[in-house]
A and B are shown apart, each in its own frame.
Chain A
Amino acid sequence: MWWRRLNGEAVAEAVAMAVGAVFAILAVPLFSKAAHHDVGPGLFPLLAAAAVIVCAVLGLVVIGLSRRWLLPGRPVTPASGTATGAEATGAGEAPATREVRVLWLAVAVAAYIVGAQWLGFTLATLGFVTFACRLFGARSWVRIGAVSMGVAVLTYFVFVRGLEVALPPGILGF
């Protein structure tokens, strides 16, 4: 499966080039809104977009010249804690598994945001912290429950009641 060996940098440069192109295309119509002695709202974004495209093309050229479009097949390596002082678990874990965990956390945060609007910040926090603690490796359900409840209640009283930050109330009003 060659696409799994695609050089991530090449993909990033291509995406940046595409973003630059989109901004450049959208900036062109803005030129008609220029006033006297003003270049208008279109010039600066167009210049920035053009610079992004040039930078990205340079990057692709560099990668192309070094023929690094595809990286060699990577063997499964033991998970190594790159964080200073980190104690890693899951020796022998494939990189794909780690990325799945990141994806799960991102989905959990997205669900948290949606949940906060419907259930309210406090209830959504309760659910999110419970799930996230498990995802990060906590095992004791009692402790997870205590931490989730503690975080939800503390944030409610400190921020909503104490600092009067208007966090989403949801259907239950808190």
Chain B
Amino acid sequence: MESLVWLSKGFAWALQPANLLACFLGVFIGTAVGVLPGLGPTATMALLLPILMGFPPAQALVLLAAVYYGAMYGSSTTAILVNIPGEAASIMTAVDGYQLARQGRAGPALAVAAISSFVAAIIGLVGLVLFAPPLAEVALAFGPPEYFGLAVFSFCLIVGLSGKSLRKGLLAGLLGVLVSQIGLDPLTAVPRFTFGSSELLNGVDVVVACIGLFGVTEILSSVAETATQVYAKISKLYPSLAELRQVAGSMLRSAVTGFMPGLLPGFSFSSVSFISYEIERRISRVGHLFGTGRLEAVAAVEGANNAFVSGQFVTLFGLGLPTSPVMAMLLACAMIFGLQPGPRVFVEKPDVVWTIIASMFVGNLVCLILNLPLIGIWVRMLTIPYHYLAPAMLVVCFIGAYSVRNSIFDVWVMLVFGLLGYAMRKLSYPVAPMVMGMILGPMIETSYRQSLALMGSISPIGERPIAMGFLVIAGLYLVISLGLPYLRARRARKGTGR
């Protein structure tokens, strides 16, 4: 009850002209940052900080927070339109979003992404307001053994991304794990598989690999097919009411699958979107069609991304614990402005905190209002003849890969992965498991070795209920995923009398 009273005061502060303008500016900048490669929200916040030093703390933090969730709205645009995920958050959006664009349904895909982001973000914010203190405590129960269990469970979900051949999916996932081993060992800093190269000491960046595997591969495939127009004629710009009703369930579920992981350190956007995608694929009536262009898949991933942001703010405000690099930047900015996030912040600086929280409600509405009309402009881009569009897309890929670490080596890596992705597509090897292997490999290894250092051996993991819970669920998931198709096929053979 007290939270609601403070929230209403927060709205009164957030709707003051100066704070409202800061919110709008932050959303605008964040959306642009999400659409354009070259800058992520973390770097943008660092660039804006010197400019904001003379501003009141509430205004400055409202703007910085708006940049963050604005970027989540914008990052889906290039993923859907041209299959280039500019941020890790939009990797899974590209899987179905781009297929929808090719079917002439880029408009509904972009609209569903924006609407789902809004719905899930609002639900996540309600969770932030009502449950911040008790939910934040859950984060304290997670240690290396729990992350090991979670990482193993996430790796098992590769089964869902493998398509028709589980063995090919597993091989791709394991190759991704091997690629993730290149660079410095996370615990001992010993160089591994660098072949004496100083560039390889930094490892292979996942975003660079994704730009190659998704964006460059797509363009190489289109030049092979001599397609003059990859995209079908645009049918309509916005989804129908029937389509919105179809995706409503996905939107609501994505709020939960995105918000809960946001409470925990160690989750990344890519793993959250992957888990949301897989859960929705299992639950949805049309889950078997995921990957061919389903609005439900786009809704699930985009909603989860934005709800994840809300969840992260719970631990930031509740415990003063940043759960990602962007949150760490926000925490640093908050401290510079005299705000010490943590349990005491709600008592010491309620006006600033509740202004930020209330502005997030307003800001998400602004994001929706800003993004929906822009759909027509983005979709018009697809009517550009493909022989002009494709080279421009390759230039964007170059910029995206180069700007990750200002390294030309990363652009070479992008090309290599582009060629690899082309070969994988020709031979029907799925690409998504390779990406997940690259993301989960370090998490599995680091958490396993940290657990060993903590407990002396791995056997005490049996005494950690959360960790064991994840491992048991992983085992059950594998048994059900592998066993069910086999039983169904056997039943079908018996039914036909064979």
Contact = CB atoms under 8 A, between A and B. Distances in A.
B423 interface: yes
B167 A165 contact: no
Residue in A39, A85, A116, A151 with the greatest tally of chain B CB atoms within 10 Å: A85
Given A165-B403, A167-B399, A106 B408 contact: no
B231 interface: yes
Contacts of B392: 129, 147, 151
B415 A12 contact: no
Contacts of A82: 225
Contact of A59 (B47, B171, B395): B171
Given A19-B175, A116-B408, A138 B103 contact: no
Given A38-B449, A52-B171, A109 B387 contact: no
A157 interface: no
Contacts of A26: 192-193
Nearest to B399: A159
B104 A138 contact: no
Given A39-B449, A165-B399, A167-B402, A52 B187 contact: no
Contacts of A113: 398, 408, 411-412, 415
Contact of B391 (A35, A40, A41, A132): A132
Interface residues of B, number: 73
A18 B206 CA distance: 23
Chain B interface mostly? helix
B312 to A, nearest CB: 25
A89 B406 CA distance: 39
A166 B406 contact: yes
Contacts of B441: 44, 48
A83 B185 contact: no
B228 interface: yes
A165 B277 CA distance: 33
Nearest to A82: B225
B476 interface: no
Given A85-B230, A132-B394, A38 B452 contact: yes
A20 to B, nearest CB: 7
Given A33-B190, A45-B178, A55-B171, A12 B102 contact: no
B39 interface: yes
Interface in B222-257: 222-233
Contacts of A16: 171, 175
B181 to A, nearest CB: 4
Contacts, number: 205
Interface string B395-434: 1001100110010100110010011001100111100000
B104 A165 contact: no
Contacts of A45: 178, 181, 192-193
B452 A132 contact: no
Given A19-B178, A102-B422, A37 B227 contact: no
Contacts of A58: 167
B395 A88 contact: no
B181 A44 contact: yes
A12 B168 CA distance: 10
Contacts of A138: 385, 387-388
B418 to A, nearest CB: 8
Contact of B178 (A13, A23, A137): A23
B220 interface: yes
A148 B202 CA distance: 34
Contact of A132 (B193, B390, B412, B428): B390
Contacts of A19: 175, 178
A81 B226 CA distance: 8
B177 interface: yes
A93 B189 CA distance: 52
Contacts of B170: 55
Contacts of A112: 394, 398
19 contacts: A38-B187, A41-B188, A81-B227, A83-B221, A84-B99, A85-B233, A87-B229, A89-B226, A106-B415, A106-B418, A109-B415, A109-B418, A116-B398, A129-B392, A133-B388, A137-B387, A159-B403, A164-B47, A165-B38
Interface of B: 36, 38-39, 47, 99, 102-104, 167-168, 170-171, 174-175, 177-178, 181, 185, 187-188, 190, 192-193, 216, 219-233, 385-388, 390-392, 394-395, 398-399, 402-403, 406, 408, 411-412, 415, 418-419, 422-423, 426-429, 441, 444-445, 448-449, 452-453, 456
Interface of A: 8-9, 12-13, 16, 19-20, 23, 26-27, 30, 33, 35, 37-41, 44-45, 48-49, 51-52, 55-56, 58-59, 62, 79, 81-90, 93, 98-99, 101-102, 105-106, 109-110, 112-113, 116-117, 121, 125, 128-129, 132-133, 135-138, 143, 147, 151, 155, 158-159, 163-168
